Structure 1
Amino acid sequence: MSAEKLTAEKRTEFGKGAARRIRAANKIPAVIYEHGNEPTHLTLPGHATMMALRHGGANALLELDIDGDVQLALAKEVQVDPIRRVIQHVDLFAVKRGEKVLVEVPVQVVGQAGPDTLVVTEHPTIALEAEATHVPEAIEVDVTAAAAGTQFLASDLTLPEGVSLTGDADALVVNVVAQVTAAALEADLADSPAGAAEAEAAAESTDADE
């Protein structure tokens, strides 16, 4: 993963008023956290930050130029306005090259499963440990031609070199199940007490109409 370069400014104004003024200037308030140090409050360029986060994904790696000092950072939390869909605030954590970090990486299903199946993603993300500069954007699960009943556990996932699983190895990540047909659903409803009652009510309604 290559780092997206951004120029950041330290800020000394805080609170909602200051945040509104920053956003009005097409910039984004941010905070970078570092082990053993107080968090640093920053201002990031609006459009460039949005493009960097969009390109880098959930764990975008940023190379920040902060008053001439270069600091690598991973996106930790991105707050987005639910209506205007613009970035409101970004939390980052400082990292170093070669440092191992714990991250949640999205699961991406690829391929077409077998006929009459439904692919269910049970866990949309997977907990991994990876080098800060080599965090994968996603972990692919290939379901090509998978039959109903096929299950992909966390331990079945193919991870890039240097990346290791930190969560439950037996966790069900993707499940391939049989697709329920309309005929099967109708039969299940007819066999159930509730379904029988509905069918009887429908029959009585038909008789009454006649």
Structure 2
Amino acid sequence: MADQLTISAEKRTEFGKGAARRIRRADKVPAVLYGHGTPPMHLSLPGHEAMLALRHTNAVLTLDVEGESHMALAKDVQRDPIKRFIEHVDLVVVRAGEKVTVEVGVHVEGEAAAETVVTTDYNTLEVEAPITSIPEWIVVSVEGLEAGTQILAGEVELPSGVTLVTDPEALVVNVSQQLSEEALEAELAEAEAEAGIEQEESDEDEAAEGEDAEGGESEGGESEGDAEGGEDAENKDD
């Protein structure tokens, strides 16, 4: 289920990139809280507490903003692409007992039948869930499934109280027959031929051709010794 943690937050009056950089240098995270018809509230969150609270998607927080309590859902968490620290957080005001529409990750578990390949076509499913009961994962079991089995979104078992929003006919997991090495090579050769790619001869093929060429010269050619021997014999006959 979604995390429900309480962290303190401060209102901020400075905005823009420069102000955001100063907030992050102070080990804090810029954030904005909005929703339910309330005007946006610009906040700064303590860096370490925010990092712990937002480790998982769809985290539900209780914010203590200068003595006022607000329940919020982490709607968008922006992270630095390299260092992965949190750059900014969008928080949506929520109320206890209401339902929200969120994206929840699909977790495939189990072992399918031998010589099969399991492909996940949908990594997340959109669902509607009570704000206090958002699942962290939606588990899909492939234990013992045979090749040719397909699991559609409408066939995925959801936790109690959670309803599907994604198209029920969407293919979530596909179990297919594993291709043999020969079949893989044939498919690769066909794809290369269609793309106009010519395969280069391997070193072994080149070596084999070289040996064949040398053998042909030895069998069909006439050595100097044989040629001289033939001339001597003709002279003796004369």
- TM-score normalized by structure 1? 0.90
1:129/1:189 CA distance change after superposition, 3 Å: closer
Deviations 1:144-202 (A, max 9, x none): 11112111111111111111011211111111122223221123345678189846x64
Matched to 1:109, the amino acid is V
Deviates more, 1:102-111 or 1:183-192: 183-192
Shift of 1:117: 1.6
Q: 1: CA distance between counterparts of 2:10 and 2:18? A: 18
Give the Cα separation in 1 of the matches to 2:192 and 2:147: 28
Q: How does 1:184-203 map to 2 (within 5 A)?
A: 184-189=183-188, 194=193, 198=198, 202=201
Give 3-state SS (helix, strand or coil) of 1:14's partner.
coil
Q: Could you tell me which amino acid in structure 2 is paired with residue 27 of structure 1?
A: K
Map of 1:50 onto structure 2: 51
Structure 2 equivalent of residue 76 of structure 1: 75
Aligned position for 1:120: 119
1:19: which partner in 2? Answer: 20
Question: For the residues of structure 2 that align with 1:192 and 1:91, how far apart are their CA atoms?
Answer: 46
Pairing 1:140–2:102 present:
no
**Distance of aligned partners of 1:50 and 1:187 in 2 relative to their CA distance in 1, 3 Å threshold:** same
Aligned residue for 2:101, secondary structure, equals strand
Q: Could you say which residue in structure 2 is the equivalent of 1:39?
A: 40
Shift of the 197–26 alpha-carbon distance from structure 1 to 2, 3 Å rule, reads closer
How has the CA–CA distance of structure 1 residues 202 and 73 changed in structure 2, closer, same or farther, with 3 Å as cutoff?
Answer: same
Q: Deviations over 1:28-64 (max 9, x none)?
A: 000112121221111001011111111xx21111111
Q: What is the letter of the counterpart of residue 88 of structure 1? A: E
Equivalent in the alignment of 1:60: 59
State the partner residue of 1:5.
6
CA distance, structure 1, for counterparts of residue 197 and residue 84 of structure 2: 47
Map 1:158-173; keep pairs closer than 5 Å: 158-173=157-172
Distance 1:28 1:93, change over 3 A: same
Q: Which residue of 2 aligns with 1:92?
A: 91
Output the TM-score relative to the length of structure 2: 0.80
Give distance in 2, aligned partners of 1:81 and 1:188: 40
Contact kept? 2:36, 2:94, Cα under 8 Å: no
Distance 2:190 2:127 in 1: 46
Q: Distance in 2 between matches of 1:53 and 1:193?
A: 46
Change (3 A) 1:53 1:189: closer
* Paired letter, 1:70: S
Consecutive unaligned residues of structure 1, counting only runs of 5 or more, are none
Considering only aligned residues, what root-mean-square deviation do their CA atoms show, in Å? 2.2
Aligned length: 206
- Structure 2 regions of 5+ residues with no counterpart? 214-238
